[in-house]
Amino acid sequence: MDFRRNYLCFSDEELELFNKYSCRRSSLSCSEEIDALYKYYKEHTVDFIFDKVLLSDSDRIFKPKYELEYYLGLKSTEVYRIENANHNIFTVHLKDFDDLLNPSSAIYSKRIVK
């Protein structure tokens, strides 16, 4: 819980929401997922190209500076900033999954121009 509070959430209220909706996977299950992703990466040479990327300006796990640098370097990727968002944007900043799929959604209002 300390990790969640210190790195994934900005407040106790946000932590409460995060805990309410987060999965109950074990650390072993998460580790196996990372191992499988790494294996897939090693076996496939296709690069992942995203048409749109949502980046938090306050992520405590992935440094926003380096994420921004990487995604701005991709020619066909539009980069959008979510202000004051933690690592998990789905608990506070994105309440409706349909907003993620709707290009007119407010979540896409802060485009970073290359």
Q: What is the pLDDT of residues 43-54, one digit of tens each?
A: 887 776 788 888
The residues spanned by each domain of the chain are 2-112
pLDDT category of residue 36 using cuts at 50, 70 and 90: very high
Biggest CA pair distance of the chain: 42
Contact between 107 and 77 (Cβ < 8 Å):
no
Q: Which positions ≥6 away from 9 have C-beta within 8 Å?
A: 15, 18, 86, 88, 91
pTM score, two decimals?
Answer: 0.63
Q: What is the pLDDT of residues 60-87, one digit of tens each?
A: 888 889 999 999 988 889 999 888 887 7
Distance of alpha carbon 10 from the chain centroid: 15
